[in-house]
Chain A
Amino acid sequence: MAGQGTTAATAPVDTARRAHAGNGKARALIGPGLRTFLIFAVLVALGALIFPSSYFYRVGTLVWINTLAVTGIVVLLGYVGLVSLGHAGFFAIGAYATAIGPNYGIPSPLAMAGGVALAGLLALVVGRPILRLSGYYLAIATLGLGMLIWMVLSKEAWLTGGPDGMTVSGMNARNLFKLVGLKLKSAEAWYWVAGFVAAIGAAIAVNLANSPSGRALRAIHDSDVAARSLGIDVARAKSRAFVISAIYAAVAGALLALANGYITPETGGFMHSVEMVTMAVLGGAASVFGALVGALILTALPQLLTVFADYEHMVLGAIMVVTMIAMRRGLVPFIADLWNRRKS
């Protein structure tokens, strides 16, 4: 499990194929989704073991929330090969719904669910007609959609607090742990919740990749026409992937709103959309582990390097261009390839 397991895990898309080839009995016992969940759970726990202060927990929480959002990008970009430049918009819908709900007497969990449903519905309505067309139309339309959402969040101050943002009241994850008798600091509690949700999200994404509709998505990635000739309803499959990825972003947004207790329209800004895509591209858009690695690097980097803030745009832009030219599939597959080559 150790050697082979990690390489297989870095490319969960391939696991089903390998399982068919019949290598490894452990693989037959636990499916790829469960295995992904367990690996994530171990990583979450590892983080908790080594973090010395609340600050680390807060950054760790951010890493898991970003991983969750980027897992949505993996479904869209890695599985189907479509780029969204407005995913921060869906992220912000989840975040703001969670923030606004309690102000109108709607409890947080309900507001969260409402925001996620709204993001999914919007993706469905907007995505359906656009996804009948060629790939770059989605990039352009989502670029506009993201800007529109950002605009509404900044201008409708009566609802959203305008450019200054708004505080998020409502639930605290500590209370969840109190129910089972665990006393945690708020930062720690959110870390565990975010890690748990990210692990579930990753497991679902991996299971999706190995399901018939996931296979349909990957067929589309290789060729629209070939997929259509296999009887796949290409527009419907693409639109389903778009909705799923919007839901991931909205859940991540809702989590961020609750964990941070404060949100600004910049959560829905264009640069945040770009950040998400860059994380996926850097780590490797084909797998949830790429999402994790990309999210980890690009969340931790600004914390480690204070100069990063001044050159954020240049760094993100350069990462996108260089990754696409030098290692198109991203870091995780790139390193996995190196590892395999050295072994053989």
Chain B
Amino acid sequence: MSELLQFLISGITVGAIYAAIALGFTLIYNASGVVNFAQGEFVVIGGMTAAALIGAGVPVWIAAPLAVIAGMLVGVLLYRLAIRPAGQAPLVSLIIITIGASIFLRGAMQAVFDKQIHRYDGFSGDAPLRVGGATILPQSLWIIGGSVAVFAFLAWFLNRTRAGRGIRATASNRMAAALVGINTGRAMNLSFALSAAIGALAGVLATPVTFTSYDVGVLMALKGFSATMLGGVGSPLGALAGGLLIGLIEALTAGYISSDYKDASAFIVILLVLFLRPQGLFGARIMERV
């Protein structure tokens, strides 16, 4: 029983990370229709930057925000240098562009940082807390809290603020949004910046538990995708639920079936969703754009 509880705790911890990635992914998809394959790289940028700064003696409370800002800058650069110049490119070109950007960022991180695996101490120490026969790392609470905070912030931002409504209007119809005076360019910049910041934050919070290295971005993106698809593409609530579910499935696979194949569970979920329920748990029916 305590074993199961332990698996559930670690599942929710990694699930919260996947949920954050999925939320960032959903934000860009909703605003621009771009399926951003570079989403996982934001997570790595956050983690690697924080690790490098902390390694250089910068205190965590300065390093963490700086790492998020670094991710945000890369997000805006990605939009300005790669997505915007492509203009009205067909879907397949946009996929290739974001894949290319993701590979480029992976190489850039290898060049800027190194090929080692990195971690740093948890924000509130690494002494595990006991919870009914199982243990939980204080950092797990940071991760779960962080993801919930990101979800709440996005809900507030997109529904209650002028800038957030601008993003939603741009997403729903870019030309109509421009016609009523919304600065759609700014909305796009903002959605890439926010999405990258969310990814980088996930990386900063997760690194003490999951470790990071320059090449884990693709795997992170894949987990984020499966979370998004399980929850339903385009739905923030779906992203949150999907992320947690993927984390739980993965932890239970690792615990009861085979830790070698825990990463395979995300892929199996993608296939099952595509076969059985392509719209996901919370998604609207998929409409193909003509």
Given A143-B218, A311-B111, A314-B107, decide whether A320 and B267 contact each other with a Cβ distance below 8 A.
Answer: no
* Chain B binding surface SS class: helix
Q: From B91, B267, B270, give the contact of A136 (CB < 8 A).
A: B91
* Chain A binding surface SS class: helix
Interface size band for A = 35 or more
Cβ-defined contact, A82 with B92, below 8 A: yes
Cβ-defined contact, B96 with A314, below 8 A: no
Given A144-B270, A313-B103, A314-B107, decide whether A320 and B96 contact each other with a Cβ distance below 8 A.
Answer: yes
- A238, B263: Cα distance in complex, Å: 28
Chain A hits for B225, CB < 8 A: 140, 143-144
Cβ-defined contact, B85 with A147, below 8 A: no
Cβ-defined contact, A129 with B275, below 8 A: yes
- A270, B86: Cα distance in complex, Å: 25
Cβ-defined contact, A133 with B278, below 8 A: yes
Q: From A133, A316, A321, give the contact of B97 (CB < 8 A).
A: A321
Scoring A residues 267 to 288 as 1 if CB is less than 8 Å from chain B, else 0, what string do you get?
0001100100110010000000
Chain B hits for A328, CB < 8 A: 89, 93
Interface presence of B100 (CB below 8 A): yes
Q: From B89, B91, B99, B106, give the contact of A320 (CB < 8 A).
A: B99
Cβ-defined contact, A319 with B100, below 8 A: yes
Interface presence of B245 (CB below 8 A): no
Cβ-defined contact, B261 with A133, below 8 A: no
Number of interface residues of B (CB under 8 A): 47
- A106, B204: Cα distance in complex, Å: 51
Cβ-defined contact, A312 with B278, below 8 A: no
Cβ-defined contact, A133 with B92, below 8 A: no
- The residues of A with any CB-CB pair to B shorter than 8 Å are 77, 81-83, 85, 126, 129-130, 133-137, 139-141, 143-145, 147-148, 151, 155, 223-225, 270-271, 274, 277-278, 281, 310-321, 324-325, 328
Q: From B96, B106, B278, give the contact of A281 (CB < 8 A).
A: B96
Chain B, 203-233, CB within 8 A of any chain A CB: 218-219, 222, 225-226, 229
Scoring B residues 259 to 277 as 1 if CB is less than 8 Å from chain A, else 0, what string do you get?
0110110110011001100
Cβ-defined contact, A277 with B99, below 8 A: yes
Q: From B100, B264, B274, give the contact of A130 (CB < 8 A).
A: B274
Chain A hits for B7, CB < 8 A: none
Q: From A77, A81, A225, A317, give the contact of B104 (CB < 8 A).
A: A317
- A225, B290: Cα distance in complex, Å: 7
Cβ-defined contact, B92 with A270, below 8 A: no
Cβ-defined contact, A325 with B286, below 8 A: no
Cβ-defined contact, A81 with B90, below 8 A: yes
